Amino acid sequence: MKTTSTLLTLVLVSSLWFNAFPTNAQSASSFLGLSAIPPRLEIKAAPGQAVTKEIKVRNDSPTEKIISVNVKDFIVTDDSGTPIQLPDSTSSQNRWAASSWIQISQTSIKLKPGETKALSLTVIVPNDALPGGHYAMVLHSPSTEASLDQTGAVIQANVGTLVYITVPGNIKQNATINNFSAPFFSEFGPIDFKANIANLSDIHITPAGSINIKNWFGGQTASLKLDTTNIFPYTSRDFTNTLKNRWLFGRYQAQLQAVYGTSGNVALATIYFWVIPWRLIILIITAIAIIIALILINKDRLHKNESEVTDLEKELDDLKHKYQDRK
């Protein structure tokens, strides 16, 4: 039977790292009855410096738990921000790895129901550490919590604290918008916008920005905020926003503006799109044409009726004159 000790861990930790899967985090925490405090720890340390912080684990379940504590490295390779745990044999070759820098005061703890225990986490930055971001996860694994997936592999459940270590220095900070799109032509709203932002920095970034939409007169139609999420170095993330207005008309400009980095760098992208309710317009034009045609028909009928009345009056006058002449 194959053993997979990190699958559920990655789902849970991704929710903490990227703020992308809060439902998974809540369900995993509920399933285990454990909480890692804090879920994310940020540390700034120079080469050769040692920094000690406190982390905690709380047992919210009604049963006693024996917890093993481990430190692991991970990478991110997809546009959804899913972390993949690195094998111990390859961690030392990864530029962002930091698990070897971290020491935990205890590797095994026993927690009674409702009990919280503190651990000391010490980061010792190597003298040759490169400037930028370095990352690791501290995993808390209950010894009795495991389940089988559909293939029969064992899935070990974990909760954890993500550790962000920033080494100061000449840190490259750059990001680009790889894609920004919306349907070029729509009949009605809502309008969906898709964007992909790539982080070309030596450190994680958290773009803060919005999509500003203007109509063809330059007036502001809407401003849609980007989700707050971290992007791992040299990876990209997908963003989706929706303009919920249904009634739109004409040509619109949408500009994506994302601010990132410690210096307030800005990534920009602009697109244009059209919204024309053409079937509604055809229906309105058809209705107007029918109304005009009915008016013209009625007018023509009225004119004919007036003409007939005039002819009858003339005939009556002629008959009247003939009768008077006979007298």
pLDDT at 29: 55
**Tokens describing residue 263:** 């210096």
Q: What is the CATH number of domain 3-167?
A: 2.60.40.10
pTM above 0.85, yes or no: no
| Burial classification of residue 82, based on how many CB atoms lie within 10 Å of its CB (0-12 exposed, 13-18 middle, 19 or more buried) | middle
H or E segment to which residue 10 belongs = helix 7-18
Residues 6+ apart with CB under 8 A from 68: 107, 108, 140, 141, 143
Equal CATH topology for 3-167 and 175-275:
yes
| pLDDT tens column, 254-292 | 999 999 988 889 999 999 999 999 999 999 999 999 999
| Structure-model confidence comparison of residues 248 and 82, the more confident one | 248
Is 50 exceeded by the pLDDT of residue 151? no
Is 80 exceeded by the pLDDT of residue 13? no
Question: For the chain, what are the domain ranges?
Answer: 3-167, 175-275, 278-327
157 vs 163: CA distance, rounded Å: 19
Which neighbouring-strand residues pair with 271? 254
11 vs 25: CA distance, rounded Å: 8
306 vs 164: CA distance, rounded Å: 92
Q: What is the CATH number of domain 175-275?
A: 2.60.40.3880
Is 90 exceeded by the pLDDT of residue 7? no
Which neighbouring-strand residues pair with 220? 214
pLDDT at 24: 42
> Considering only CA atoms, which of 177, 199, 81, 39 is closest in space to residue 133?
199
What confidence tier does 89 reach under pLDDT thresholds 50, 70, 90? low
H or E segment to which residue 222 belongs = strand 220-225
CB neighbours of residue 65 within 10 Å: 22
| pLDDT tens column, 91-111 | 667 888 999 999 999 999 999
165 vs 9: CA distance, rounded Å: 20
| pLDDT tens column, 185-218 | 999 999 999 999 999 999 999 999 999 999 999 9
277 vs 253: CA distance, rounded Å: 18
CB neighbours of residue 1 within 10 Å: 7
